Amino acid sequence: MSRDLSELTIAERRDAILERMASAAKWADRDPAAISFVAVSKQQPNEHVQAALNSGHRVFGENRVQEALARWDKTFASYRADMELRLIGPLQTNKALDAVKLFDVIETLDRMKLARALVKASDKTGTMPELFVQVNIGGEDQKSGVQPNALPAFLKELKSEYDITPVGLMCIPPMGEAASPHFWHLAKLADDHGITQLSMGMSGDYETAIKMGATHVRIGSAFLGARA
Ligand SMILES: *Cc1c(COP(=O)(O)O)cnc(C)c1O
Q: Report yes or no: 8 and 50 within 8 Å, Cβ to Cβ.
A: no
Centre of ligand 1 to C-alpha 15, Å, is 19
Distance CA 145, CA 13 (A): 31
Query: Residues 31-60: what's their mean pLDDT?
Result: 97
* Side-chain half-sphere CA neighbours of 155 within 13 A: 21
Alpha-carbon distance values, 134 to 37, 70, 100, 147 (Å): 18, 25, 17, 9
Q: Which residues pair with 36 in a beta bridge?
A: 216
Report the pLDDT value the prediction gives residue 3, as an integer from 0 to 100.
60
Which domains, and CATH codes, for the chain? 5-224 (3.20.20.10)
Report the pLDDT value the prediction gives residue 64, as an integer from 0 to 100.
98
Report the pLDDT value the prediction gives residue 2, as an integer from 0 to 100.
55
Report the pLDDT value the prediction gives residue 1, as an integer from 0 to 100.
45
| CB crowding 119-157: b at 16 or more within 10 Å, else e | bebbeeeeeebebbbbbbbbeeeebebbebeebeebbee
Look at residue 163 and tell me whether its pLDDT is greater than 80. Answer: yes
173 lines ligand 1 (CB under 6 A): no
The confidence band for 177, taking pLDDT boundaries of 50, 70 and 90, is very high
Distance CA 190, CA 195 (A): 5
Q: Whose CA is nearest to atom 11 of ligand 1?
A: 218
20 contact partners, CB below 8 Å, separation of at least 6: 2, 206, 207
200 lines ligand 1 (CB under 6 A): no
Atom of ligand 1 nearest to the CA of 38: 10
Q: Report yes or no: 131 and 166 within 8 Å, Cβ to Cβ.
A: yes
96 contact partners, CB below 8 Å, separation of at least 6: 114, 117, 118, 120, 121
Query: Residues 12-17: what's their mean pLDDT?
Result: 97
Atom of ligand 1 nearest to the CA of 43: 1
203 lines ligand 1 (CB under 6 A): yes
202 lines ligand 1 (CB under 6 A): yes
Query: Residues 156-182: what's their mean pLDDT?
Result: 97
106 lines ligand 1 (CB under 6 A): no
* H or E, element range at 217: strand 216-219
42 lines ligand 1 (CB under 6 A): yes
| One-character DSSP codes across 158-205 | HHHHH-----EEE--PPTTS-SHHHHHHHHHHHHHTT--EEE---TTT
* Side-chain half-sphere CA neighbours of 60 within 13 A: 31
Length of the chain measured in residues: 228
Report the pLDDT value the prediction gives residue 5, as an integer from 0 to 100.
74
pLDDT above 90 covers a percentage of the chain that reads: 96
Report the pLDDT value the prediction gives residue 215, as an integer from 0 to 100.
98
Query: Residues 48-52: what's their mean pLDDT?
Result: 97
Centre of ligand 1 to C-alpha 96, Å, is 21
Mean pLDDT of the residues in the chain: 96
Look at residue 152 and tell me whether its pLDDT is greater than 50. Answer: yes
Centre of ligand 1 to C-alpha 203, Å, is 7
pLDDT in tens, 108-120: 999 999 999 999 9
Alpha-carbon distance values, 10 to 14, 16, 80, 135, 228 (Å): 6, 10, 20, 31, 17
Atom of ligand 1 nearest to the CA of 170: 13
Look at residue 228 and tell me whether its pLDDT is greater than 90. Answer: no
Report the pLDDT value the prediction gives residue 7, as an integer from 0 to 100.
76
